[in-house]
Chain A
């Protein structure tokens, strides 16, 4: 079966409404080009949709939540908490006597729970051996492509308070 046929001398409407069934199988160059152009419009519409979603996106309002008391955990220890909702597990690590960091516990690869590897001072996802920096949550090694979302913390009256998430995707 031929993909294309040579341009006929018949009027256009006769090509579009052939008298013979066999002729319906043919795709003229003009029809194929129209299909490609419509596909191009579909790609453009997709980009417009992304643009629209970007413009309508509003930064979510995060609750302020006390996570732990300042001396509740020892240096090198961790505490698991949920933020900003009960379905979002996070991990708090005390990296030095006056330094705390907290990240989402969901690996950015396939959402396995990451844990703190004290000897290497990094976060590890045991499912596929993904490693994240404890300093900023960036990917050190493994299949994850994106950094761990970070929980911004503030010291308030002897308490560590989570105030927002940073680096979250859509």
Chain B
């Protein structure tokens, strides 16, 4: 049970790191576009960033739940 829980937590962490890299790229691209005077990218950028944050939060809650279960 502990071994399986640890694997699940590691997997979730790896996924969060991937999502975070994507989110950092998204922020830099949106900022670059905004500073160049193209404001049309702000809305989709914020929506996608919100979805990525929600996914990270869900994975974090998953990690917390697994962590408390395997203890």
A interface residues, Cβ below 8 angstroms from B: 6-12, 29-30, 32-34, 36-37, 39-41, 43-44, 46-48, 50-51, 53-55, 57, 145-146, 167-170
B56 near A40 (CB under 8 angstroms)?
A: yes
B13 near A46 (CB under 8 angstroms)?
A: no
B50 shortest CB reach to chain A, Å:
6
Indicate which residue in A9, A50, A168 contacts B30 across the interface (CB closer than 8 Å): A50
B interface residues, Cβ below 8 angstroms from A: 2, 5-6, 9-10, 12-13, 16-17, 19-20, 23-24, 26-27, 30-31, 34-37, 39, 42-43, 45-46, 49-50, 52-53, 56-57, 59-60, 63-64, 67-68, 70-71
Indicate which residue in B2, B13, B27, B59 contacts A47 across the interface (CB closer than 8 Å): B27
- Per the bound structure, the CA–CA distance linking A33 and B6 in Å amounts to 13
- Per the bound structure, the CA–CA distance linking A125 and B66 in Å amounts to 60
Interface of A is mostly: helix
- With most chain A CB atoms within 10 A of its CB, the pick from B19, B46, B52 is B46
B49 near A33 (CB under 8 angstroms)?
A: no
- Per the bound structure, the CA–CA distance linking A73 and B1 in Å amounts to 85
- Per the bound structure, the CA–CA distance linking A75 and B2 in Å amounts to 82
- Contact sample, A vs B, 10 pairs, CB 8 Å cutoff: A7-B70, A33-B13, A34-B60, A37-B59, A40-B57, A41-B57, A44-B49, A47-B27, A50-B30, A170-B34
Q: Nearest 3 CB-CB pairs, A to B?
A: A47-B49, A54-B42, A40-B56
B71 near A169 (CB under 8 angstroms)?
A: no
Q: Find chain B residues with CB under 8 A from A39 CB.
A: 20
- Per the bound structure, the CA–CA distance linking A114 and B35 in Å amounts to 21
A40 near B16 (CB under 8 angstroms)?
A: yes
Indicate which residue in B16, B24, B70 contacts A43 across the interface (CB closer than 8 Å): B24
- Per the bound structure, the CA–CA distance linking A9 and B13 in Å amounts to 21
Given contacts A47-B27, A167-B37, contact A40 B46 (CB under 8 A): no
Q: Find chain A residues with CB under 8 A from B64 CB.
A: 30, 33
Q: Find chain B residues with CB under 8 A from A36 CB.
A: 13, 16-17, 20, 56, 60
- Per the bound structure, the CA–CA distance linking A39 and B19 in Å amounts to 11
Q: Find chain B residues with CB under 8 A from A54 CB.
A: 34, 39, 42-43
Given contacts A37-B57, A51-B43, contact A44 B52 (CB under 8 A): yes
B37 near A50 (CB under 8 angstroms)?
A: no
